[in-house]
Amino acid sequence: MSQVRYNLKNRKEQSTLISLVYRFNGQRLVYSTGQKIPPKFWNDRKQRAKETQRFPEYSELNNFLNTMAAKVNTFHRQFIIDNKTPTVAKFKKLLNEFLMKSDNKNTLFAFIENFIKERTESNNYSKGTVKNYTTVFNHLKTFSKKGRRQPDFNDIDIDFFSSFNTYLYSPPLNNSKNYVKKIWQTIGVFLNDATDKGLNKNLSYKSKAFQILGTKPPKNIYLNDAELKLIYQYDFSENERLEKVRDLFLVGCYTGLRFSDFTRLKPEHLQSIENKEVISILTQKTKKTVYVPLHPILKRIINKYRTETQIFPKPISNQKMNDYLKEIAKQVGIKGKVIQQLTNGGKEFSVTKNKWELVTTHTARRSFATNAYKSGMPSIKIMLITGHSTETAFLKYIKITGEENAVSMSEEKFFLDSSPLKIA
């Protein structure tokens, strides 16, 4: 068998394509590898990229070219073993399949692309869910470019699991274990759907070897009634920016709605049911209508801002609001320290932060759920607003400390019964 060679398509270009050339049985195969290189970094004698730090991709590119050359030789040997006549067309077909260049609509990436497209066009999936699917797909595509080959269903094995995790944990990503675990859960969603449709036969992803043990999630705080009262009563009259952010934050604290929902509230969302004023809104994430009774503080805020088109302050971006909330929490005097267990690049460490530093728009929703639960409201009633499907998930969501639970239990009849025990 002859030697596989590589030619540069146009040496005058700043970066030019690399073509694979293979002569066999009087025929000549010329195949574009799809890879580019600046001609000045090409070693003609070695037929590979120069090993120089000025072209840091040299190692990945040379490994890819080595793999391509080995594949061509393997294909040719197989033709001989099978007593078949090799042709340029047959070689190209095999190389296309190896590099996932075929028109097959059922490749992994083609499937994921269509999976996301269908959910983007559907009204049954929130923007956040679709964004998560897209983010994970982008990670897969970026990783495949580093390996210079698209993985297909059968490639999702323990080796892929290990190398993909290394990519996710390494700089510049430095993802946490919990986030990497979430990425694999999303990949599982893709593969489960493909399996259900008969497109995927590789079930390696369901094995225990694919499990990632996440760390305890960072401590998400909530603000108790006393802290919310502190925020509500603070005089921000000389700072209109913080006053409006404070009032909008309280809307979340007393409705339990997500940021994407409480920032959309308009006069048309107010209803009267059996002479009770409630907020009624179709939530963006779950696509379910929830009904929330109007808290007295919300009524005061509505009276403060109500016009024909609005009932609450005009919203700002989530990121800006989070910045302002920390400023508010610090200014009103939210006290306390919180120790958080975090991971970076898969490595665990702890950090101590001031409680006010951890206040975000989502703190509002968690505060609502926790304070409502502490007040004695049944979980099922709160869940109809928060959207939690199981009480187990709800109880994980709320933030009741051991101390708070003990104080709450001390008010139960069991602990208040002072009748003397009768000893036989």
**pLDDT digit string, tens, across residues 341-383:** 776 766 777 889 999 999 999 999 999 999 999 998 999 999 9
Between CA 90 and CA 368 the distance in angstroms is 65
In this structure, how many other beta carbons lie within 10 angstroms of the beta carbon of residue 337? 9
Between CA 221 and CA 360 the distance in angstroms is 9
User: What's the whole-model pTM score?
Assistant: 0.59
Mean pLDDT, all residues of the chain: 89
Top CATH class of 108-210 equals mainly alpha
- What per-residue confidence (pLDDT) applies to 371? 94
Between CA 27 and CA 389 the distance in angstroms is 65
Full pLDDT tens readout for the chain, 424 residues = 689 999 999 999 899 999 999 999 999 999 988 888 999 999 999 999 999 989 988 888 998 899 999 999 999 999 999 999 999 999 998 988 787 654 455 789 989 999 999 999 888 888 889 999 999 999 999 998 887 678 889 889 998 999 999 999 988 898 888 899 999 999 999 999 999 888 899 999 999 888 876 666 667 899 999 999 999 999 999 999 999 999 999 999 999 999 999 999 999 999 999 999 999 999 988 888 999 999 999 999 999 999 999 999 999 999 999 999 999 999 999 999 988 777 676 677 788 999 999 999 999 999 999 999 999 899 999 999 998 888 888 888 887 766 666 766 676 666 676 666 555 5
Write down the CATH number for the domain with range 225-411: 1.10.443.10
Between CA 359 and CA 318 the distance in angstroms is 12
Between CA 262 and CA 248 the distance in angstroms is 8
**Both structure tokens of 47:** 């037929």
Residues of the chain with CATH 1.10.150: 108-210
**pLDDT digit string, tens, across residues 36-91:** 899 999 999 999 999 998 998 888 899 889 999 999 999 999 999 999 999 999 99
Q: Where are the alpha helices (DSSP H) in 349-420?
A: 361-374, 379-386, 391-397, 402-409, 413-416
Between CA 327 and CA 18 the distance in angstroms is 55
**Both structure tokens of 300:** 């005061």
In this structure, how many other beta carbons lie within 10 angstroms of the beta carbon of residue 341? 13
DSSP-derived 3-state class of residue 119 = helix
Q: Which residue has the tokens 């109809």?
A: 384
Cα angle vertex 377, ends 375, 383, to 5°?
125
**Which residue type does 363 have?**
T
* Beta pairing, strands 347-354 & 270-273: unpaired
Q: Which residue has the tokens 């590789």?
A: 202
Residue 18 C-beta-side C-alpha neighbours within 13 Å: 23
Residues of the chain with CATH 1.10.443.10: 225-411
Between CA 365 and CA 386 the distance in angstroms is 8
